[in-house]
Structure 1
Amino acid sequence: MSVSASSPLPEADHHCDVLVVGGGINGVGIARDLAGRGWRVLLCEQDDLGSHTSSASTKLIHGGLRYLEHGEFGLVRKALMERERLLRSAPHIMRPLSFVLPHDPRTRAAWMIRLGLWFYDHLAPRDFLSGSAAVDLSQSPLGQPLHRQWRQGFVYTDGWVDDARLVLLCALDASEQGAQILPRTRCEDLQAYGGGWRATLVRRDALTDLSTRTLTVQARAVVNAAGPWAEQLLRRGMGVPAVAPAGRRGQGGAAHLRLVKGSHIVVPRLFEHDHAYLLQGEDRRIVFAIPYERDFTLVGTTDVDHPGDPGDVSVSDDEVRYLCAAVGRYLRRPITPEDVVWRFAGVRPLLDDAQGAAAAVTRDYRLEAQALPAPWLTVWGGKLTTFRVLAEQAADRIGTLLGDPRSHWTTEAFLPGGLLQSGSDTALIPASPVAQMTAFQARLRQRHPWMDLGLMRRWSRAYGSRVTLMLDGVHSRADLGAEVAPDLYEAELFYLRRYEWAQTADDVLWRRSKLGLRYSPAQRQAVADWLAAQAKG
């Protein structure tokens, strides 16, 4: 598409104020914010929600300590300002996480690390996260998993998040605010028409991958939040030409994306304590080793330029060996490629700032908006931690383009399931989200004593206060329906289909949960068979 239609088009199937293209964290965050301001919103995503970049992160809510070394103080401060705000908004899927940074004098001087941590502690206020401290690893339990040469280090605190569930909760909130959410619906064509946009959307069947229906949408404005596909949609789909930038790309002229692959591996648990490690490689890159799903350790990430199709991405054997070696340099217990139980990769759509090394490319974002040929906004870059403020700024820009600015509302808002107290409980809300979660789990256990501890923990962590939707009328394990796979009951599967757009086994086992880590191929197939039977109806 490139020009306005000159003759009348048939009546559209749907009319909305804003069409959001892209169901990753930025897209659903923008849809949520706009819908909460009263705009009529429709969001389409070509695959499952959050199935690409947004579910393939290192799963951190953080300011980005290493970005200080690249002078990105503004980005770090912006992320740190959001860190505790997000942890409060969804304490069921987020929690504080402390990191151990062993000191390697060959890569960075101790004074440099201390200075960086001082800035990290003071760039934004902290209400409940602890500040950094030095630690004698030769005397601390935190040093026991390490080789003896690592005698000194530092500890600081950030946050952990279930990234795929964060996407789903934002989409759910948008839906409950009135937005229409269409996963597995590809935007095939856009035309500027009648002062707005005419879009052609094609829906696909999740099980057969065949097109099932074509929809037309008339929208007053379009938000391009297509992540790694954003530049392709803008240039080819919306007909906006690339202009040679003035100076560095992504600064003075047209924005461009640099696609960088980040890969992770999951191995059996490498250490017993609940801290994570930030490990500095001899190449000055960092690798995280993070406690994961109680029995595992998540190791990542790499930074490799990805010139190919963003949808065709996988972890290479070289990357697996690199991550194993990075961990083996520090931890006494070596890991090998044979230890890997799961590997995943995603393509980060980074704002190209002409940096040489992929690891040095900025993680900041840019919003580009224009009124012609019809109102549109494109999101360039971004990261999980800044999704809310990005969405707020994007909604402001859209309101200006539509001539009707509307007030902010997400600053103190909870995500679905995040308000863990109700009624008389609200007067007794603990200050710490961790304390809130502990109190909520105790009440849940008291009200449903038949639930075993493992199921209670998993459900409370995944669904928060929305777990009551699954437990309404349930008085025993038998009321949950058949156990389709270990600890996965029909009640949960019905919930995921009804409220969270789950259609396939991968949707359930690798994004809405991580039960796939614990299941055999036969058990995963049992989940697939159950979902297929429900789809047939």
Structure 2
Amino acid sequence: MPDDGGAVAAAASALFERPHADVLIIGGGINGLATFRDLALQGVDVALVERRDIAVGATAASSHMIHGGVRYLENGEFRLVHEAVTERNDLLRTAAHYVRPLRTTIPIFTTFSGLFSAPLRFLRHGAGRRTERGALLIKLGLTIYDAFSRGRGRVPRHTFRGRRRSLRALPRLNPRVEYTATYWDASLRDPERLALDVLTDALEAGPHARAATYVEAVESRAGRIVLRDVRDGRECEFAASVVVNASGPWTDLTNVGLGVPSRLVGGTKGSHIVLDHPELLEATGGRELFFEHRDGRVVLIYPLKGRVLVGTTDIEHDMREPIVCTDEEVAYFFDLIGHVFPGIPVDAGQIVHRFAGVRPLPGHGDVAPGYVSRDYRIERGALPGGAGVVLLSLVGGKWTTFRALGERLSNVVLAELGVARRTGTRGLAIGGGRGFPRGQRARERWLDMHTHGVDRARARVLLERYGTRAVAVMARMRDDADDRPLTSAPTYSTGELRHLARTELIWHLDDVLLRRTSLAFTGQANEAVAREVADVVAGVLGWDTRRIEDEVRRALEMIDPGQVRTEEATWPTT
């Protein structure tokens, strides 16, 4: 039976019917979710609101990497690199369903360049004449990087090759290359789904953890936060002892709405394109190419899901303006591909997806974007009204360190509440990473145990897609008498999508196409797919014919030959 909004409506009602908690978190990006999960596991009465879908914005617009940040060494951010390497190694074990080792190669075109200018650039915060980073400087950086991983044994040490061996391994590489350096970080195959696993872990901790999407925090009144349901406009005043502002690049705008003006964030826009380009895909040799472009920006070419991800830019951005990947950025990406693979032509017709997001970096004045700290900090304040409500604003944060950040922010919250920590999250498996079989033999044994009533090849796809949460997906598919592969996208099935619609806080069709599946990322989200997916989930979400048409139109506007508006330059007004 239709339930008019399903899980989204139920989640909003749970907040409005009990409008109070010890902690309210504003923002459903990965750092807000990590803090929510940590606090939920401590037994804290905690609520989270997000004005759109889970994992929209910078969380979705990532480079799909979990990395220690080798280039941050040049900025002197040794604490952050050490923490990031530690977290990367931990995620390779705790989230092995989505985080996998990634061989990364740096093409190098000089030997000595940058050895003496790099320290000066650091001291001048990026000012001064740019000098290309040469082999010796990169060798020094990777040696330090390896040292941070020593004793943890999750990834191999780096290697160096001269021109001849480099071109033997990557024959389409620019023949001007002098060396290549290869090291290991980690890929993040499905950032939105990992974020959803973090959320689900929190909700499964018990009814003391509540989260609602499409609910916005619009203002504060006498120490209470006014929440508004985006779907129907209803409001309530929500009381909490601690309010956490984890709204990323919107942190200052959120604080203005709460009556606490701030100037904490100075975000920069990063854009990416996804190419359906078999020749370029083959040329990468199955590895990420991570290198310095002519302007000094560190960029990447990255094979993922049978496509090639290319990025990223680092441009100052006004949060009042639209956040989109521009044609100028696309031209920049084509130029950087030509720099490394000069014999491989690329054109706009090969773009199947593009997206942009704003990094929630701290305000940085005249410091060049590439030299702005990627570390994070927590600012303490209070809501107006004299009610003694603590406001904690998160500044900064990156995907790799989400667990550590969530733990640190939770420790601050627990101190404010006078509550002792009950458990830690280091080493604690996330979502479908619990019991995830590592290695081919282990996967086959897992399939032997859990593939009942589902085709084995299909079960293998679901295991890769959801980790061990595939067990629940397969159970719902078996119970769904009408389960069948989609005609327009047969790697997904109707029972599978109906299960997602029932359980994963879906309100719009683009929630499914962009963030619950890989259909948009891989360029499959055309009109036929959009219509079929809408028809499939309509019965669960209570959509009539007019709503289906509206959702298809909205989704196709958002996925306009790959142009995805992951973030809108709007903010609620009272």
Is the Cα contact below 8 Å between 1:137 and 1:144 reproduced in 2? no
Is the Cα contact below 8 Å between 1:92 and 1:437 reproduced in 2? no
Task: Report whether the alignment pairs 1:287 with 2:290.
Answer: no
Does 2:337 correspond to 1:327?
yes
Q: How far 1:287 sits from its partner (Å)?
A: 1.0
**2:390 corresponds to which residue?**
375
Give the Cα separation in 2 of the matches to 1:154 and 1:59.
Answer: 21
Q: How far apart, CA to CA, are the structure 1 residues paired with 2:477 and 2:212?
A: 31
Q: 1:455 to 1:358 in 2, by over 3 A?
A: farther
Whether 1:239 and 2:259 are equivalent positions in the alignment is: yes
- In structure 1, the residue matched to 2:129 is none
Q: Distance in 1 between matches of 2:441 and 2:509?
A: 32
Unaligned runs of 5+ in 2: 1-15, 114-131, 544-574
Match in the other structure for 1:446 = 448
Residue type of the partner of 1:387?
F
Alignment match, 2:274: 266
Single out whichever of 147-156 and 48-57 deviates more from structure 2. Answer: 147-156
Aligned to 2:187: 160
Who is 1:144 aligned against? 171
For residues 394 and 194 of structure 2, the distance between their equivalents in structure 1, rounded to whole angstroms, comes to 19
**CA shift digits 1:359-393 (9 cap, x unpaired):** 22111111112467412211001100111111101
| CA distance in 2 between partners of 1:12 and 1:218 (Å) | 12
Equivalent-residue separation in structure 2 for 1:152 and 1:326 (angstroms): 18
> CA distance change for structure 1 residues 280 and 489 in 2, over 3 Å: closer, same or farther?
same
1:174: Cα distance to partner?
1.1
Q: Counterparts of 2:50 and 2:485 in 1: how far apart (Å)? A: 32
Shift in CA distance, 441/508, structure 1 to aligned 2, threshold 3 Å:
farther
Question: Residue 257 of structure 1 aligns to a residue in which SS?
Answer: coil
Higher relative contact order (CA 8 A, sep 6+): 2
Note the alpha carbon deviations across 1:309-361, whole angstroms, 9 max, x for none: 26x31111000000110011111312223321111000111012335322221
In structure 1, the partner of 2:426 is 411
Query: Which of 444-453 and 67-76 deviates more?
Result: 444-453
Distance in 2 (alpha carbons) for counterparts of 1:380 and 1:17: 22
2:253 equivalent to 1:199: no
Q: 1:453 to 1:519 in 2, by over 3 A?
A: farther
1:250 corresponds to: none
Letter in 2 for 1:411: R
Match for residue 516 of structure 2? 512
The answer to whether 1:226 aligns with 2:274 is no
**CA-CA distance at 1:466 after TM superposition:** 0.9
1:94 to 99, 102, 109: 99
Summarize deviations over 1:387-421 as a string: whole Å, max 9, x none. 11111011110111112232442112111111126
Aligned pair partner of 1:524 in 515, 526, 530: 530
Distance 2:76 2:194 in 1: 29
Equivalent pairs counted in the alignment come to: 490
Query: Which whole-Å CA distance do the structure 1 matches of 2:233 and 2:184 have between them?
Result: 48
- Superposition map of 1:471-490 within 5 A: 471-472=474-475, 480-481=483-484, 483=486, 485-486=488-489, 487-490=491-494
SS at match of 1:219: strand
1:381–1:443 distance in 2 versus 1, CA, 3 Å? same
SS of the counterpart of 1:271?
Answer: helix
User: Could you report, residue by residue, the CA deviation over 1:171-207 in whole angstroms, capped at 9, with x for unpaired residues?
Assistant: 11111113111011111122343xxxx22211233xx
> Does the 8 Å CA contact 1:143/1:150 hold for their aligned counterparts?
no
Deviations 1:206-251 (A, max 9, x none): xxxxx353233221211110111111222x2333344xxxxxxxxx
- Give me the whole-angstrom Cα distance separating, in 2, the residues matched to 1:241 and 1:14: 25
The 1-side partners of 2:138 and 2:64 are apart by: 23
Please name the residue that 1:257 is paired with: 265
- CA distance in 1 between counterparts of 2:63 and 2:309 reads 8
Identity %: 34
Alpha carbons 2:271, 2:354 under 8 Å: kept: yes
Offset, 1:30: 0.5
Contact 1:228 1:349 in 2 (8 A): yes
SS in 2 for 1:352: coil
Query: TM-score of the superposition, structure 1-length normalised?
Result: 0.86
Deviations 1:50-103 (A, max 9, x none): 111100010111111111112211211111111111121111111110101011
Q: Which amino acid aligns with 2:191?
A: D
CA drift at 1:453: 7.3
Supply the RMSD in Å over aligned alpha carbons.
2.4
Aligned-residue offset at 1:479: 6.7
Name the CA distance, whole Å, in 2 between partners of 1:411 and 1:418: 14
- Give a deviation string over 1:86-145, Cα, whole Å, max 9, x none: 121111111110101011216122111100000110124332211111124533553223
TM-score of the pair, normalised by structure 2 = 0.80
Structure-2 residue corresponding to 1:431: none
Quick check: 1:314–1:345 contact (8 Å CA) kept in 2?
yes
Please point out which of 193, 199, 207 is paired with 1:171: 199
The answer as to whether partners of 1:321 and 1:337 remain within 8 angstroms in 2 is no
State the 4+ residue runs in structure 1 displaced beyond 6 angstroms: 475-479
Offset from partner CA, 1:426-476 (integer Å, 9 cap, x none): xxxxxxxxx715345323443538866764444212211110112227669
Task: Measure the CA separation in 2 of the matches of 1:475 and 1:349.
Answer: 43
Are 2:216 and 1:182 aligned?
A: no
**1:256 and 1:519 mapped to 2: Cα distance?**
37
Query: Which one is further off, 41-50 or 263-272?
Result: 263-272
Asked if 1 retains the 8 angstrom alpha-carbon contact of 2:251 and 2:264, the reply is no
Kindly tell me: are residues 473 and 337 of structure 1, through their superposed partners in 2, closer, same or farther at Cα, counting changes over 3 Å? closer
The one-letter amino acid paired with 1:239 is G
Cα displacement (A) at 1:260: 0.7
Secondary structure of the structure 1 residue equivalent to 2:444 = helix
Runs (5+) with no aligned partner, structure 1:
1-10, 206-210, 243-254, 422-434
Counterpart residue number, 2:5: none
Counterparts in 2 of 1:383 and 1:263: CA distance versus 1, 3 Å:
same
* Native 8 Å contact 1:56 1:345 kept in 2: yes
Residues 259 and 371 of structure 1: is their aligned pair in 2 closer, same or farther, counting only changes over 3 Å? Answer: closer
Q: For residue 167 of structure 1, what is the amino acid of its counterpart?
A: A
Q: Distance in 1 between matches of 2:244 and 2:59?
A: 18
Q: Which residue of 1 aligns with 2:26?
A: 21
**Distance in 2 (alpha carbons) for counterparts of 1:17 and 1:476:** 39
Task: State the alpha-carbon separation in 1 of the partners of residues 214 and 17 from structure 2.
Answer: 20
